[in-house]
Structure formats: C-alpha cells, structure tokens
Structure 1
C-alpha cells in the first residue's frame, strides 16, 4: 500500500490525538510504584481515556489477521519484555523497569507513544539502557526532513545503540499512522544511510526503537502477544509520533510531562 500524505485537516486531528496519547502517560506516571499491578495501571488508563478524554483505547480488542484480540487497553512491558506485554495482577517490584505504550483514537485518528518508567530504585545498568534508547529515538527524529531517507533514521539508531554495547530488535519497527493504527511505511531502526523511502511533507509515522542489553534475538510467548528477549536480557523502548514538515519535522506526541530532548 502507498504511503498516505496527510491533509491539513488530517494533521490537525493527528495533533490532537497524539497530544492526548502523551497526556495519558503524564496521568499514569505518579501511579508507577512498587506494589501496583499493571492491571491496575491498565484500569486507570482505560478510565482516563474513556471518561476524561473521550478517546478510545486502540489496543483493546485489536486483532491483526491471524492473531487473537489484544485483551487490554495499554501495553506494559517489564524488564526483559521487548513489547506488547499484557497487563496482569502481579505487583511491580522495586528495581523493575517498565515501558507503557499508549495508543488512543480521537475523532477517527490514532495517537501513539510510549515511555520508560522506573519502579522505585533501579540499577545503573537499567538506567543506562533506558537513556541510550531515548537518545537513539531522538537521533532518529533529528534525521526526519524532506529529502531524507528512512535508512538515515535506522542507520543513526543502530550506530548509537551498537556503539554503546547494545543490540537493535529487527523484527518490530515504527510505522505510518493516521486513520489506521498501522499504515505504510515501515520504519526500521537499523539500516544504511541514503536507502529506503524518500521522506516528503505530510508523512506521519512513529519512531520507536527497541534496544536490548544483550543479543537482539527474541521469542513470542504462548499468549501470542508478549515478546521477550531470548537471552532474558533487559530491553527498553521509547516512542514518538512525528510529522514530516516542509522544513524538518514536528514531534506530535510531546506533552507537559514528556522528558526533555537529550543534549548531545
């Protein structure tokens, strides 16, 4: 399928949906602490989305072809879970790291973002992994402009991750987004500069690198959704949705509580 170039009206509606998605992460941040369950975090986010924002949680009952419907409203990926962790009734423990992935639908448009959280006091190794992954995402964002290639984004992410001693998950990637949860293009987090799709104003897609402390290999658990590192090493992920503008890019999933862009 071709890449959809968003109209001015599409872009305005995407700005709203993406800001609301980011605000869910701001809302839930104070609740992430030892003893809370991810099921409780899911319930809080669901109620906030539906009753306060008037948005629809996009993951709930989402069912790509051949997959069972996703049973919850958010994804909660802990420690060695790479992505798509399903909230459950197990309490979070001090020292764990957690990715919360939020996608909302507002007026038919999707906003998608994720953020890393620390449960109590985490190890310096976990903090470094989350920091480098955050830098990877922003280095990728900095490459977004008309005339750049998707390979420019993947290349800078891969180089920063691997030079820091980490590996890049290759089976999952960023994606176009709009009226559909997942659209073209696929945004790989590895690659070569000057290769891949040429970027043009009006494209909207996510950049969401998944970086492993150990090897890049993964396995999918029996629930069909939860993806973990094969060697059980820690994994981290951050995600923003970006718009290609006439002069560069606009990050659509910024909010008052979003961490600042790193200084390189």
Structure 2
C-alpha cells in the first residue's frame, strides 16, 4: 500500500533528504586517494548527528555502518573497510538519515583521481538516466513508465541494468511501497498518486546486468567484475509533478561542477 504524505510531511522529508545531501557534499571534499571508506563512515556519522539527525542505515536490518560504500565492481551495499581508495577508483556512497520521524536516502558515485573514459561515460549515462526516470514520475503514469525509460536509455548505450535491486517508496520507514525497478514496461505497475514519495536509484553496470553477493552478506558485485554506478534521489509528487527533495548541489559545489539538471524538478528555489 502506498502511504500518501501531506505537503507538511513532504517538507519534513525534504529536511531529512537535505541532511543526506549535505553529508554527501561534505564527503565530496574527503573522497580522495589514500582515504579509507571506514574514515568516510566515521565522519559521516558525526556530521549527521551534528545536524540533528541520526544515521538512517546504522542498525537497520542489522547494518553495521552509517554509509554503504561500493567501490568499482561493487554495485551497492558495500560495507566500509580499511582499504585505501586508489587513483582510478570509483566509489558509490549511499547514505541515509532519520530526522523528524522521516527518512532521507540518496547516493552519488565519486571519481578518485584519473578515472578511465569508459567508466566516466558509464557515470554520465547513469546520472542522466536518473533524471530521465524522474521525469516520468507524474500523475497519469505508472511505475513501469519510470523503469522503462531508465532501461531503454541505459541499454541503448550497451549497459546492463540490475534486476535484483530496485528503488522504493520512502517515508517513516526506509522502504515503503511501491518498489521502483529500473526496468519495466510502459503502462504497467502501480499508478502514481499525489503525495507519494519514492527513491529512484539506477544501478547500472558496464557489462552484464547479473550480480552476486559476497560472503560478508552485504556487498553486491557485478558477476563479470566490471564497474557499476549508482545515483539516487528522493522525489515527491506535488501538484501532479515530480519534486526533488534531495539535491546534488552540495556535491557539485564541492567538486566545482556547474549543473542545471535538477532545476526543472524543483518548485522551490534551493538555498545553499
């Protein structure tokens, strides 16, 4: 069952999402060669708590960490380690926060040093597919319309779209209805309704879409060992249209990136 949020609740969810956005922005300055993901996890927990929230992942489903850090062929759910990031790596950092009774949850894939051009293209396409999917989150469409749009765009570039892992509704629980696959058929699935809030999160692989889980019980990796990229936003349907609650603006500011990709999905001006 889809749990509809009031406009007041959506504003509370925006605050939760922005704590995550600010955390990712802080981490953007720290993600570099020689840094461990355990270090990133430690400073992220402190940052979230200092901003009046609690880590959304830590303790959820017995998750031991604040962040999930997936390096190179890791798709999602990578546990932080003491292994240093190295030049040419990519790392997808997924972060959650609980504030005012609501969760925020989104992710960004970062480059470390000199990343090869093929991987950069994968990152660019995956990020573009996120906004292509968000554009379909509007009254009159269904879950399958979002998944179809993401799948067609990524597969047209020769990439694998992960099937076993999907986006989700979000609210007072981290995972609510509906599931939001990154693949599907147009016109199929649950109808979008006013006040629903979801996390859309393309998980796109350089090669095969097939994945496997490591022995740690958490980390999901590509079966062929090729890189995978993950981007995620929290989005509400407000006045029939998609309204992004999270933002990559803090990451972009830290990295010196100029972007207007979120502008069409934001009814209220974002004040950094």
The TM-score normalised by the length of structure 2 is 0.92
> What is the match of residue 109 of structure 1?
102
Q: 2-side partners of 1:196 and 1:54: how far apart? A: 37
Counterpart position of 1:14 = 13
Provide closer, same or farther for how the CA distance between residues 124 and 94 of structure 1 changes in structure 2, counting only shifts above 3 A: same
Task: List alignment gaps of at least 5 residues for structure 2.
Answer: 253-258, 263-272
Question: Matched residues in 2 for 1:236 and 1:131: separation?
Answer: 9
Deviation at residue 257 of structure 1 after TM alignment: 1.8
String of CA shifts for 1:133-174, please: whole Å, max 9, x gaps.
001111000111111111110001000110001010011000
Within-5 A mapping of 1:1-264? 2-50=1-49, 52-63=50-61, 69-254=62-247, 256-259=249-252, 260-262=259-261
Go from structure 1 to structure 2 and tell me whether the alpha carbon gap of 1:223 and 1:178 turns closer, same or farther (over 3 Å shift): same
Please say if residues 159 and 204 of structure 2, whose CA atoms lie closer than 8 Å, have aligned partners that are also in contact: yes
**1:8 shift after superposition:** 2.4
Q: CA deviation at 1:254?
A: 1.4
CA contact 1:138–1:261 (8 Å) conserved in 2: no
C-alpha RMSD of the superposition: 1.2
Deviations 1:83-102 (A, max 9, x none): 00000100000000011111
Contact 1:146 1:245 in 2 (8 A): no
Report the Cα offset of residue 256 of structure 1: 3.3
User: Does the CA contact (< 8 Å) of 2:199 and 2:233 recur in 1?
Assistant: yes
| Alpha-carbon shift at residue 261 of structure 1 (Å) | 4.7
Structure 1 unaligned blocks of 5 or more: 64-68
Mapped to 1, the partners of 2:237 and 2:8 lie a distance apart of 15
Residues of 2 paired with 1:136 and 1:174: CA distance?
13
> Helix, strand or coil: the match of 2:60?
coil
Count of residue pairs the alignment pairs up: 256
Q: Deviations over 1:118-137 (max 9, x none)?
A: 11111001111110000111
Kindly report structure 1 stretches of 4+ aligned residues shifted beyond 6 Å. Answer: none
Aligned to 1:66: none
TM-score (norm. length: structure 1) = 0.94
- Rounded Cα–Cα distance in structure 1 between residues aligned with 2:244 and 2:238: 10
